Structure formats: C-alpha cells, structure tokens
Amino acid sequence: MARVTVEDCLRRGYSRYMLVHAAAKRVRQMREGAQYLVHSPKNEDIVVALREIAAGKVWIEYQEPVEKVET
C-alpha cells in the first residue's frame, strides 16, 4: 500500500468520527511504547496508526448508547 487514505480505513465500517478517535488513541498507545502492528519505516505515528486500521489490525469496540429511564 503506497498511500493510506481515509477511504481505505472507512471500508472497515467506521464513521469518520470514530476513525479519528481510533487513530488518536492508537497514536497515544504507540507513543507510550506499544509495538507497531504493521511494518512502516520512516512514517509518522499517525500514518502508521491509519495503516494499522486499514489493514484490520486495530478495531473499535463501541457500545450502543443506553437510554436513561426515569423512575
């Protein structure tokens, strides 16, 4: 993959909003010492994070919003 695009990442079924949060969280993990999941020499952390998402190595688990029940 020569270039990673947002469309490559969106094919995984995320919205752009979720993609931004997932990439930001993954960059924080890498800067705290987490191992890279894809080989991508000489790239910035954000590019590596997007490549990991596009490759399916990173995914997002999210919960449906819980409705507040008034008693």
Q: Per-domain residue ranges for the chain?
A: 6-54
- Per-residue pLDDT, 71: 66
23 burial (CB, 10 Å; 0-12 / 13-18 / 19+) is: buried
The per-residue pLDDT of the chain, averaged, comes to 84
Helix ranges (H only) for the chain are 6-10, 16-31, 45-54
Residue with tokens 């752009």: 16
**Residue range 15-52, pLDDT digits in tens:** 888 888 889 999 999 999 999 999 888 889 999 999 99
Query: Residue 2 above 90 pLDDT?
Result: no
Greatest C-alpha distance within the chain:
57
- Per-residue pLDDT, 35: 93
pTM over 0.85: no
Q: Are 8 and 23 in contact (CB under 8 A)?
A: no
